[in-house]
Structure 1
Amino acid sequence: MSESPPRREPAPVRHFTRIIDVALAVVTTAFFVAVAQATGIHNPWAGANPLALLLGALLLFRRRRPMTVLLLSIAGIFAYRLTGGVSPAGWIWPAAVAYFTAATTPRVRWVAAIGLAQLVYSAVDFRRVLDTNVPRYVIHVAGEGLLLAVLIAAGLTYAAVMRWRERLRETDSRARAAEERLRVSHEVHDIIAHTLAVVGVQLNVAADTLQEDPAAAAAALQLAKDVRNRAMTDLRSLIAVLRDAPGDTAPQPDLASLGALIADARAAGLRVTLDEHGDPASVPAASAIAVYRVVQESLANTLKHAEAGTAGITIGYGPRAITVEVADDGRVTPGGAPVVEGHGLAGMRERVEALGGTLTAGPVPGGFAVRADIPVARSTP
């Protein structure tokens, strides 16, 4: 299986990393030159300044070729020392940024091996001081070793933090995808439930009138076909989401689609009334879809289970919340038994609660009612 391409950072992040690389290159060059002059190098252009410029220039490529930059930096330091140059800042420090960057890669063991080899050479090269100043020799070798250990540890820590952040991003992305798929599953249930309810009623009408009134049977079948076609269009849009092709999706139904929903229920023999008050123009898209799905699922349940003849839909568009109530005159649970929530009612409740609202459903005098209170999100000034 081919590896997925590396995630491309946003433009501001890329610009910021370039600025950091340039700043590190300038600091490395300037500090090396300053230390060289402070330690009494009389002709820095004989070796110290070119080495400083080389070390700084290499850092501009440290993210793309970290190991190459490290090896070239060390090679430059060795070439400078072997030609008789006196290192004004030891062996490890001039390549400190290169060591750190290489330690963030999976080749950290090679980085440690290279650093250890350089330390051994540094200890051998500095052995002349043993005869005159043992403490200085120990401090020099131990300091170089400690610096190398700190650089490698810092690189490992940085790499671990970056992996942890990447895992957090992936987890968050998977969670959002799972939430979207759960939302789509609710949409699919609502569409199928409503379609089956309306189509089932129309098929019964066609079966009952096929012999006595073929025209009425044909009209019922045509209506069932139209409802089915609309449902298939919605389902294709939602399945595209499940297939990770959001560009192929169609807009979700909203308040403007309530008319077709009510027309389907009326064609199925249910007398439906709609009472709206308030201003629907300011309703956010998420709340509008929730209102539509609550009405759709309520009418589907009425057609399938309630044996109702009438249903009244009342929608109030308030400044802070939308109130949706769908009441019918169908049968209620015998003996006042509690309502058993199926997938449809549970899906409605989850949808409304996800927006911070509440949903109640149960028997009322003369029938059954579903009521949802959905908050309207407002942007703060």
Structure 2
Amino acid sequence: MAPPFPRRAPAAVRHSARLLDLAFALITVVGVVTGVMAAEVRESPWAGLIPLALFLGALLLFRRRWPLIVLLLSIGAIFLYRFNSHFQGGWIWPASIAYFSAACTPRVRWVALIGAAQLVYAAVDFWPVLSENANRFLVHIAGEGLLLASLIGAGLCHATALRWRERLRETDGRARAAEERLRAAREVHDIVAHTLAVVGVQLNVAADTLEEAPDEAAAALRVAKDVRNRAMADLTSLIGVLRDTSDGTAPQPDLAALDTLIADARAAGLRVVLDQRGDPASLPAAPAVAVYRIVQEALTNTLKHAGATTAEVTIERAPSAVTVEVKDDGRGCEEIVESHGLAGMRERASALGGTLAVGSAPGGFSVRARIPVAGSPV
């Protein structure tokens, strides 16, 4: 069980904690002086009362670092004052905040033991009153016991609440990390699929032209090498996320990287026509990344499965949404199998409140997504 008072906290939290400790110290000083004087003790306050109150208040400034020591020193000071005065007003309440602070720690059993021992001593010390006024004795001891139980119970509740809040923060952090790793896994899939498709086409070109046209084969290999190098850089930036570390992360590609993506597809032998309408550059980061990845996955599927020669990419930026459509002239399909790529595109769109439609189009296959911008309804 972790201590409820962390050794290192943000500066604002530490400042607030110091102010709270100072407030508790002042409350204790005023409360002890007022309570003892209300009991009509005839000794001069400077003879022991004010030094006791100042000492108990000063101890509370260290209650977070040494709560059990503060409690023991507070009890010792109360004993010393009781032995040198005629005060009979109680043993527990002058150390109330010290008891509460110590009860917030994992050593709450020791706190209960110390409190019980002090309560037993209080009963022994107050025993002569039993024969004179049994009700007064019972009320006094029962009140001390009830106060002690309340202080320990409050400390336990406070510590439990702090631990629960910390667990909620940890759970939230783990959920965010898992979501980030899932996003990174999707990015890895998109990068690997696209790279393999482009590199595979270029290697086939190189193999077919190696003997008859060495220059063309060399150019194809250079394109494959460039695509591979860019993919390795992207993968390196994502591996850190999958390993629960932020080292080496890099911004995700957006519409500014579309030219490189389309150039790779063209180098693989696919004629790609890009039509951008409106002002796609004004897209926020999340929709821009989603549009890029949808185009990447759609072109990858076209290269791998469609047998197409031409693909048309249309991106239309409207005030409330962005629409992206990728159509090719390849083989359509009557039955669509929801692969990882299609599922990833659909998840990207739906995560931003958008929709995705895929299916055969006149003369080929079509992928169309509509994603709202700035929370506008689809």
TM-score range, shorter chain: over 0.9
Q: Which consecutive residues of structure 2, in runs of 5 or more, have no partner in the other structure?
A: 1-5
Q: Distance in 1 between matches of 2:187 and 2:149?
A: 57
Within 5 Å, which residues of 2 pair with 1:144-183?
Answer: 144-183=144-183
**1:83 pairs with 2:84:** yes
Which residue of the partner structure matches residue 270 of structure 1? Answer: 270
**1:360 pairs with 2:357:** yes
Q: Distance in 1 between matches of 2:322 and 2:196?
A: 28
Which residue of the partner structure matches residue 56 of structure 1? Answer: 57
The match for 1:345 among 338, 342, 345 is 342
The superposition leaves residues 338-369 of structure 1 with CA deviations (integer Å, 9 ceiling, x where unpaired) of 30011111011111211111111111121111
Within 5 Å, which residues of 2 pair with 1:8-87?
Answer: 8-42=8-42, 43-87=44-88
Within 5 Å, which residues of 2 pair with 1:82-161?
Answer: 82-88=83-89, 90-161=90-161
Q: Distance in 1 between matches of 2:61 and 2:71?
A: 12
SS in 2 for 1:246: coil
Instruction: State the shift of 1:328 in Å.
Output: 0.6
Instruction: State the shift of 1:242 in Å.
Output: 2.2
Q: Distance in 1 between matches of 2:294 and 2:233?
A: 20
Amino acid at match of 1:18: R
Check whether the contact 1:362–1:370 (CA below 8 A) recurs between aligned residues. Answer: yes
Find runs of 4+ consecutive structure 1 residues off by over 4 angstroms.
none
Q: Which consecutive residues of structure 1, in runs of 5 or more, have no partner in the other structure?
A: 1-5
The superposition leaves residues 143-174 of structure 1 with CA deviations (integer Å, 9 ceiling, x where unpaired) of 00011011111111111111111111111100
**1:373 pairs with 2:370:** yes
What percent identity do the matched residue pairs reach?
A: 68
**1:308 pairs with 2:308:** yes
Number of aligned pairs? 371
Amino acid at match of 1:297: E
Check whether the contact 1:276–1:314 (CA below 8 A) recurs between aligned residues. Answer: yes
SS in 1 for 2:216: helix
Instruction: State the shift of 1:378 in Å.
Output: 6.0
Q: Distance in 1 between matches of 2:282 and 2:275?
A: 18
Instruction: State the shift of 1:13 in Å.
Output: 2.1
Q: Distance in 2 between matches of 1:124 and 1:19?
A: 39
Check whether the contact 2:290–2:348 (CA below 8 A) recurs between aligned residues. Answer: yes
SS in 2 for 1:14: helix
SS in 2 for 1:244: coil
Q: Distance in 1 between matches of 2:166 and 2:238?
A: 29
Check whether the contact 2:41–2:86 (CA below 8 A) recurs between aligned residues. Answer: no
Check whether the contact 2:100–2:155 (CA below 8 A) recurs between aligned residues. Answer: yes
Q: Distance in 1 between matches of 2:87 and 2:36?
A: 9
Which residue of the partner structure matches residue 3 of structure 1? Answer: none
Check whether the contact 2:236–2:248 (CA below 8 A) recurs between aligned residues. Answer: no
RMSD: 1.5
Q: Distance in 1 between matches of 2:371 and 2:307?
A: 28
Instruction: State the shift of 1:83 in Å.
Output: 2.1
SS in 1 for 2:360: strand
Which residue of the partner structure matches residue 279 of structure 2? Answer: 279
Q: Distance in 1 between matches of 2:88 and 2:14?
A: 34
Q: Distance in 2 between matches of 1:39 and 1:86?
A: 7
Q: Distance in 1 between matches of 2:20 and 2:373?
A: 44
Q: Distance in 1 between matches of 2:220 and 2:141?
A: 94
